[in-house]
Amino acid sequence: MTRPTYTNPSGPRTPQGGRPYGQQRDDEISDIVARIERCKNLVEISIEDIAKEDGIAEKLARNFRGGLKTTQLRKFFDSIVTNQENLKTKGWKSIESDFFMIRPNLAYAKGRKLIPDQFYRIVTLCLDRVSPDGSTEEQKKENYGRFVELLQALVAYSKYYESK
C-alpha cells in the first residue's frame, strides 16, 4: 500500500521570512559572504555575531548540513588548532607555511567533493582576512584567533545539526 503524497496548495513550504527554504539558504550564505568581504580584518566580525543563536556559525552549519561531514570538518579544524598553538608559542613565522597551505588543501578537498563549494568560498575569504597586506604580527594573531573561534562554533553547531 502506498501512502498518498501531500502537496501544499499554497506552493512550496517557506520559513517565517516567506522565501522557499532553498532560496533562504542561498540568501543566508550570500549575506555571510558579503559580510566577510566587507571586512579587512576578520576581528571586525564579533565573536557574538559568530556564536550567538542564529548567528554566522549556526547559519553555516544549517546550510552545510548533509554536504559537510563532521569528520571532514573536524580533521580540518584539528590542523587549524595545532597552528594556533604554535602561533601562540612560536610566532607567525612558525606557522606561515602551514597557513598558506590551508588553501591548496581546501582546494584538494573541494576537488574531491569532500567539502561544499560554499564552505571553500567562506574559508578562503576568512584566510584572506587573517593575513591582509600590511598587517602586523599581532593583527595576524588576533585574526587567526577569530578564524579558530568561527571554526570552533561551526564544528559545534554542525555536530548539533548532525544529530537532528
| Torsion angle, alpha carbons of 122, 99, 150, 18, to 10 | 0
Residues 4-14 pLDDT 10s = 443 443 444 44
Measured CA to CA, the distance from residue 25 to residue 19 in angstroms comes to: 10
Task: With respect to residue 7, please indicate whether it lies within any of the assigned structural domains.
Answer: no
Out of 9-13, 39-43, 158-162, least confident range: 9-13
Q: How far is CA 82 from the centre of its chain?
A: 18
pTM above the 0.85 mark?
no
Task: With respect to residue 146, please indicate whether it lies within any of the assigned structural domains.
Answer: yes
Task: With respect to residue 13, please indicate whether it lies within any of the assigned structural domains.
Answer: no
With a pLDDT cut of 70, the percent of the chain lying above it is 85
Using an 8 Å Cβ cutoff, are 125 and 45 in contact?
no
Task: With respect to residue 4, please indicate whether it lies within any of the assigned structural domains.
Answer: no
- Residue range of the domain that includes 144: 21-162
- The reported pLDDT for the residue numbered 23 is 52
> Across all residues in the chain, what is the average pLDDT?
86
Residues 98-143 pLDDT 10s = 999 999 999 999 999 999 999 999 999 999 999 999 999 999 999 9
Task: With respect to residue 59, please indicate whether it lies within any of the assigned structural domains.
Answer: yes
Please determine, for residue 19, whether its predicted confidence score (pLDDT) is greater than 70.
no
Task: With respect to residue 9, please indicate whether it lies within any of the assigned structural domains.
Answer: no
Task: With respect to residue 12, please indicate whether it lies within any of the assigned structural domains.
Answer: no
- The reported pLDDT for the residue numbered 157 is 94
Out of 6-15, 48-57, 85-94, 151-160, least confident range: 6-15
Cell of residue 27, nine digits: 540568501
- Sign of the alpha-carbon torsion through 41, 43, 48, 54: positive
Task: With respect to residue 2, please indicate whether it lies within any of the assigned structural domains.
Answer: no
In this prediction, residue 90 has a pLDDT band, given cuts at 50, 70 and 90, of very high
Domains: count for the chain: 1
